[in-house]
């Protein structure tokens, strides 16, 4: 019986797969989209800050995560059992398939810039199990296949579409990395199953955990199959119309209170919100429709102005893994899930694509260097799920979690950071959004431009951009002026140049030739930052920031951490320490006869256990 099922599944796979073109970055897909990011597969990271982390990810993080999925938990084994290859019962949580998919996505991203035949072979063997576990009608979820299959599609909060979304993203990633359609085929079949089951004139459904919406837009962009875009829009439109089966009291938690176009304030689960807003932005761009934009603007203002930590973390409440009232930002009890910080990166990139405003990259950068990066140890094999801004000494990273969304999330995020550096637009502009040492070749306006960025950012603010166009032509280079930067100078070939300022970008519009060099110097002093006075938890306190990096105190450096106080006369010294915490700029604060040490927040809990605080008493 099992053999017949596998043969039938193979036939369905062959029938359903059309030719799938590679992902293209050439032009914006709609007039709404102001720029198109350069895919990280076309960006070589040479940066002293990020390159070591990417090597650690490739050599340590991937192996650690895959080992957890294969040997320490049953995430991979569940697929082998569902395929009938071995005997056993399901073990784990309902959504565990998604963690494996995210690990496969991260591994695929790593393969693009770090070819590894052994890893690729390993992924092929895992993908073969996933493919064999897929049911003939395209459905794929080991929890139900190994449990009561009659219960599938009966509970909107059982993560079926969420898992499919992560499967789609993994399938696309592996296809782009290797040219192999094996996992993409599986994803398309699951998406086709969902499309046949749900939609206009079919069954109603409101995904309890958003994610599939943005994944379907990605699938549409790869396959050009309008069904997936239509389904993504339809799923967004199901919210706020009493279509869900959960308790009405939980509508807030699931972002189901009102239609998405009418959303005014963020609420409920933080990660679900980020995926929802990212999906709304993606659909807006893909269908050339401004309907969701006013809501996205309102929601962004609400998040950034009333509910975001200085680290770019969001979701202060443990109760709902999300949001409570405005300005409720406790420190030691902060939830700040790592997944939510990565979600802020995803959403803010989409907002920048739609609006062309550097303020969104400011938030993206804040979340990336602080809230998200804190989620992984310097060794690359231990993770935070929760990222508080203070600790009594008992909060530590773990090798894995029962609910392992955060380790697998950071594992797929790190190798994709090249996605956020450069972009192009149809007005012959090259956008430099992040300052990360890197190289890329950009094709625009009938020209090919080699770019090489050299910098010691985030520790120092000097950026050298070498611009080498194949043909001497006029085009614009847009350099984001970070919100933290108050003083800067900019020159081309050693001569100061005039720039236009537009939406937080410095624009150099000139005829470029081979050998042109842009030098951008951003002054990077130590800043003493006060919270909004409505944040009660930070009343009478200050924190330290330098460039994009938020700092904290650890007990290992400050034995008097509980009584530490700074004031207006405190003097600060920033010193680069190559042997400290993987090379950081350390800040010392001389307050009277006391000297305090501050380290980057992302690097805390990498030495001996002890107390930590971001916000320090200010007298």
- 597/457 same-domain check: no
- Residue 378 in any domain: the answer is yes
Mean pLDDT of 241-267: 95
- Take residue 596 and report the two structure tokens written for it: 């305090």
- Residue 287 in any domain: the answer is yes
Say if residues 278 and 497 touch (Cβ distance below 8 Å). Answer: no
- Residue 39 in any domain: the answer is yes
Using one digit for the tens of pLDDT, what is the confidence trace for 65-114? 999 999 999 999 999 999 999 999 999 999 999 999 999 999 999 999 89
d(CA 152, CA 545): 49
| Closest by CA position to 359, among listed 503, 527, 507, 487 | 503
- 483/531 same-domain check: no
Using one digit for the tens of pLDDT, what is the confidence trace for 190-199? 999 999 999 9
- Residue 10 in any domain: the answer is no
Reported confidence tier of residue 287, pLDDT bands at 50, 70, 90: very high
Which helix (H) or strand (E) is 550 found in, with range? Answer: strand 549-554
Mean pLDDT of 172-195: 97
Q: How many CB atoms lie within 10 A of CB 438?
A: 25
- 412/439 same-domain check: no
- Residue 8 in any domain: the answer is no
- 518/596 same-domain check: no
Give the domain CATH number at 59: 1.50.10
d(CA 497, CA 217): 41
pLDDT of residue 24: 34
140 burial class (0-12, 13-18, 19+ CB within 10 angstroms)?
buried
| Closest by CA position to 41, among listed 438, 465, 453 | 438
- Residue 119 in any domain: the answer is yes
Options 105, 210, 321, 337, the catalytic residue:
321
Of the CA atoms within 13 Å of residue 415, those in its CB half-sphere come to: 30
d(CA 543, CA 470): 47
Mapping DSSP to helix (H, G, I), strand (E, B) and coil, where does residue 23 land? coil
d(CA 197, CA 154): 12
pLDDT of residue 15: 26
State the average pLDDT for the chain. Answer: 94
Domain that holds residue 600: 526-618
Bridge partners, residue 36, by sequence = 424
| Closest by CA position to 124, among listed 180, 76, 64 | 180
- 331/474 same-domain check: no
Residue 596's φ and ψ, nearest 5 degrees, are -115, 150
d(CA 69, CA 76): 6
pLDDT of residue 14: 29
| Closest by CA position to 10, among listed 136, 127, 128 | 136
Give the domain CATH number at 453: 2.60.40.1180
Using one digit for the tens of pLDDT, what is the confidence trace for 204-246? 999 999 999 999 999 999 999 999 999 999 999 999 999 999 9
Mean pLDDT of 356-365: 98
Reported confidence tier of residue 163, pLDDT bands at 50, 70, 90: very high
pLDDT of residue 486: 96
- 478/340 same-domain check: no
Bond preceding residue 137 cis, omega within 30 of 0: no
> Virtual CA dihedral for 273, 26, 505, 470, nearest 10 degrees?
150
Last residue of a domain, one of 477, 498, 522: 522
- 96/221 same-domain check: yes
Quick one: what percent of the chain has pLDDT higher than 90? 94
- 400/491 same-domain check: no
- In terms of DSSP bridges, do strands 36-37 and 422-425 run parallel, antiparallel, or are they unpaired? antiparallel
Options 405, 406, 485, 552, the catalytic residue:
405
d(CA 119, CA 128): 14
Integer-rounded Cα Rg, in Å, for the chain is 24
d(CA 462, CA 454): 8
Using one digit for the tens of pLDDT, what is the confidence trace for 594-614? 999 999 999 999 999 999 999
**Is residue 25 pLDDT above 90, yes or no?**
no
Q: How many CB atoms lie within 10 A of CB 519?
A: 18
Which residue matches tokens 């005039």? 498
- Residue 374 in any domain: the answer is yes
Last residue of a domain, one of 387, 420, 453: 420
Mean pLDDT of 16-41: 60
Last residue of a domain, one of 376, 396, 420: 420
Verify whether residue 405 is a known catalytic residue: yes
- Residue 467 in any domain: the answer is yes
Q: Which residue has the higher pLDDT, 24 or 168?
A: 168
Quick one: what percent of the chain has pLDDT higher than 70? 95
- 364/383 same-domain check: yes
- 537/508 same-domain check: no
Mean pLDDT of 557-582: 97
d(CA 360, CA 302): 14
* Crossing angle of the two packed helices 270-287 and 226-237, in degrees rounded to 10: 130
pLDDT of residue 30: 58
- 472/594 same-domain check: no
Cα 481–522–374 angle (5° rounding)? 80
- In terms of DSSP bridges, do strands 584-591 and 462-469 run parallel, antiparallel, or are they unpaired? unpaired
Say if residues 13 and 185 touch (Cβ distance below 8 Å). Answer: yes
Which residue matches tokens 């993203």? 169
- 269/355 same-domain check: yes
d(CA 550, CA 371): 9
pLDDT of residue 31: 78
- Domains identified in the chain, total number: 3
């Amino acid at each position: 019986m099992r053999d017949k099922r596998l043969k039938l599944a193979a036939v369905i796979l062959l029938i359903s797969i059309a030719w799938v073109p590679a992902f293209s970055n050439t032009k914006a897909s709609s007039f709404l989209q102001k720029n198109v990011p350069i895919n990280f597969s076309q960006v070589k990271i040479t940066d002293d800050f990020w390159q070591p982390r990417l090597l650690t990810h490739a050599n340590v993080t991937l192996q650690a995560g895959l080992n957890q999925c294969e040997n320490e938990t049953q995430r991979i084994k569940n697929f082998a059992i569902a395929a009938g290859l071995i005997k056993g019962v399901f073990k784990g949580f309902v959504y565990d398939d998604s963690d494996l998919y995210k690990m496969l996505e991260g591994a695929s991203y790593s393969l693009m810039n770090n070819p590894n035949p052994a890893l690729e072979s390993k992924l092929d063997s895992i993908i073969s199990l996933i493919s064999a576990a897929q049911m003939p009608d395209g459905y794929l979820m080991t929890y139900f296949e190994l449990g009561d299959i009659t219960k599938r599609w009966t509970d909107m909060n059982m993560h079926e579409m969420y898992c499919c979304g992560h499967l789609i993203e993994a399938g696309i990633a592996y296809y782009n990395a290797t040219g192999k359609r094996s996992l993409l085929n599986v994803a398309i079949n699951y998406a086709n199953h969902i499309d046949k089951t749900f939609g206009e004139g079919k069954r109603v459904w409101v995904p309890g955990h958003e994610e599939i919406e943005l994944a379907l837009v990605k699938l549409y962009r790869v396959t050009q199959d309008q069904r997936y875009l239509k389904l993504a829009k339809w799923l967004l439109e199901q919210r706020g119309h009493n279509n869900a089966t959960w308790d009405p009291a939980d509508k807030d938690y699931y972002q189901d209170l009102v239609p998405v176009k009418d959303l005014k304030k963020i609420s409920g689960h933080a990660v679900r919100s980020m995926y929802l807003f990212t999906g709304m932005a993606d659909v807006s761009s893909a269908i050339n429709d401004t309907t969701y934009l006013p809501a996205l603007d309102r929601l962004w203002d609400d998040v950034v102005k009333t509910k975001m930590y200085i680290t770019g973390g969001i979701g202060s409440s443990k109760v709902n893994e999300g949001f409570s009232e405005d300005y409720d930002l406790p420190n030691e009890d902060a939830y700040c899930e790592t997944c939510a910080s990565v979600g802020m990166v995803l959403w803010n990139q989409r907002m920048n694509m739609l609006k062309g405003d550097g303020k969104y990259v400011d938030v993206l950068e804040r979340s990336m260097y602080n809230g998200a990066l804190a989620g992984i140890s310097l060794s690359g094999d231990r993770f935070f799920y929760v990222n508080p801004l203070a600790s009594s000494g008992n909060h530590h990273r773990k090798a894995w979690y029962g609910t392992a969304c955060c380790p697998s999330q950071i594992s797929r995020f790190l190798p994709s950071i090249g996605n956020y550096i450069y972009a192009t637009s149809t007005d012959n502009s090259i956008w430099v959004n992040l300052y990360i040492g890197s190289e890329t070749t950009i094709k625009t306006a009938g020209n090919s431009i080699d770019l090489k960025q050299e910098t010691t950012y985030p520790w120092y603010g000097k950026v050298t951009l070498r611009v080498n166009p194949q043909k001497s032509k006029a085009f614009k280079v847009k350099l984001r002026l970070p919100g933290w930067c108050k003083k800067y100078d900019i020159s081309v070939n050693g001569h100061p140049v005039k720039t236009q300022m537009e939406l937080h970008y410095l624009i150099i519009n000139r005829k470029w030739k081979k050998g042109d060099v842009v030098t951008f110097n951003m002054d990077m002093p130590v800043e003493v930052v006060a919270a909004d006075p409505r944040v009660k938890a930070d009343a009478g306190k200050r924190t330290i920031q330098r460039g994009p990096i938020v700092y904290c105190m650890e007990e290992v450096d400050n034995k008097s951490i509980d009584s530490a106080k700074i004031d207006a006369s405190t003097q600060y010294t920033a010193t680069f320490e190559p042997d400290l915490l993987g090379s950081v700029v350390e800040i010392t604060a001389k307050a009277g006869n006391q000297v305090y040490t501050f380290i980057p927040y992302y690097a805390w809990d990498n030495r001996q256990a002890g107390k930590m605080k971001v916000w320090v008493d200010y007298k």
